[in-house]
Amino acid sequence: MMANFSPQEIVRIAIKVEEAGEKLYAKLQYTAVDEQIKDVWGYLREQEHVHREVFQRMLDNIGDYIVDNFNPGEYDTYLRAIASEYVFTPELIERKSKEGFPNDLAAIKFGIDIEKESVLVYEAMKDFVVLERHDILDKVIKEEKKHLTLLIGLKAALKKEKGE
């Protein structure tokens, strides 16, 4: 049987993902040798902290953010499909943080995957957020896309530097 995810549960998952991302980026920042890469990890760590606080405020004031006429059957299938994959993300980030990465490129590729997933889930969350609060979620989505672009650029530069 598939789990049911309420909008509140998705916000809780988003908080966990942002917490795990913050820890991962802190570790990558600490272990990075290249100063440019170290700076990118530091920036992303700070951004994950900010996003976690945004989602925590949403959860703390859920009535001000989540639509009050939410119909569980309306978006259930779509939400389950996305959330069932995304719910494992905090554990995956924690595991990868402990295991480490064989090189900077592998860490960057993992960061790209996490940022892509975040954009997908946060876009899906908009269906459950009151219209007057979309600007807050749109800001987070825009920042996640910026992180994605930054990591893709860093990946390209690293590959070019290695002659790949």
Structure tokens at 77: 């299938």
Q: What is the mean pLDDT of residues 152-157?
A: 93
Q: Residues 42-55: pLDDT tens digits?
A: 999 999 999 999 99
Task: Catalogue all structural domains in the chain, each as residue range(s) with its CATH number.
Answer: 7-161 (1.20.1260.10)
Q: How many CA atoms lie within 13 A of 122 on its CB side?
A: 28
- State residue 129 phi and psi, 5-degree precision: -105, 135
Residues 6+ apart with CB under 8 A from 45: 22, 25, 26, 29
Looking at residue 40, what is its pLDDT?
94
> Where residue 64 falls among pLDDT bands split at 50, 70, 90?
confident
Residue, of 83 and 118, whose pLDDT is higher: 118
Claim: this prediction has a pTM higher than 0.85: no
Looking at residue 79, what is its pLDDT?
64
Q: Residues 2-43: pLDDT tens digits?
A: 455 667 777 887 888 888 889 899 999 998 888 999 999 999
Stretch among 45-49, 74-78, 130-134 having the lowest mean pLDDT: 74-78
